[in-house]
Amino acid sequence: MKLDAVIFDWGGTLTPWHTVDPMQCWLAVTGDEALAARLRAAEDAAWVSSRDHHRSAHIDDVLSVAGVELTHDQRRRYFSWWDAHSVTDPAAPEMLRALRQRGLRIGILSNTIWPRAEHERIFGRDGVSGLIDGAVYSSEIAWTKPHPEAFRAAMAAVGVSDPARSVFVGDRLFDDIYGAQQAGMKAVHIPHSEIPVWQTTGVEGTPDAVITGLYELPSVIDGWL
């Protein structure tokens, strides 16, 4: 088997899953329970649209639906609140270097409402920016995973076109595993995340491989190569 690229989900995959209450974030940002509740409801609605219709949203869409404007300082407070929950897995750098040594392109495909700049800030902070060949964030395109167009966009971002020669790694059996397989890719599941029930659909893919940690991935890839 020949492989050209390995593409990763972000939250819950390259960044270990943290179970948090987004309401606490919005409270920290606004200091107002009513505003925070409106923002939380608008954010949940965006994720429901992603789950049911695979349509993307940007944080500005969430703010618009909630009828809330944030100051520059409040926006910074919002992203800073997430810093403690967005740390790249310590096993990721060595694993990514090992894949690149095998001649594989490395990509990111994340369902996110955040702008690209915030993800790039995190990858820069954690020293992995130079290990990533291309990234697609759903906030910048029309679709979210599991729509095939999202996966095709991620392949294009790393300069490959044959899904049969690409692998996707993710923590969600619907968005990541089912989605990647429907797009023609192999899919590796890392099942550590406590996915909220309301974010699931009952539709799941059967992974081509399961790993308990990112450090195991090069061995799985070697088996396919």
Distance separating alpha carbons of residues 40 and 68, to the nearest angstrom: 11
Distance separating alpha carbons of residues 206 and 188, to the nearest angstrom: 9
pLDDT digits (tens, 9 = 90+) for 125-149: 999 999 999 999 999 999 999 999 9
Domain borders along the chain are 5-18+86-224, 22-84
pLDDT digits (tens, 9 = 90+) for 66-91: 999 999 999 999 999 999 999 999 99
End-to-end CA distance of the chain: 5
Q: Give the CA count within 13 Å in the CB-facing half-sphere of 158.
A: 32
**What pTM, to 2 d.p., does this model score?**
0.95
**Residue range 5-18+86-224 in CATH 3.40.50.1000:** yes
Quote the Cα angle for 219-166-150, to 5°. 130
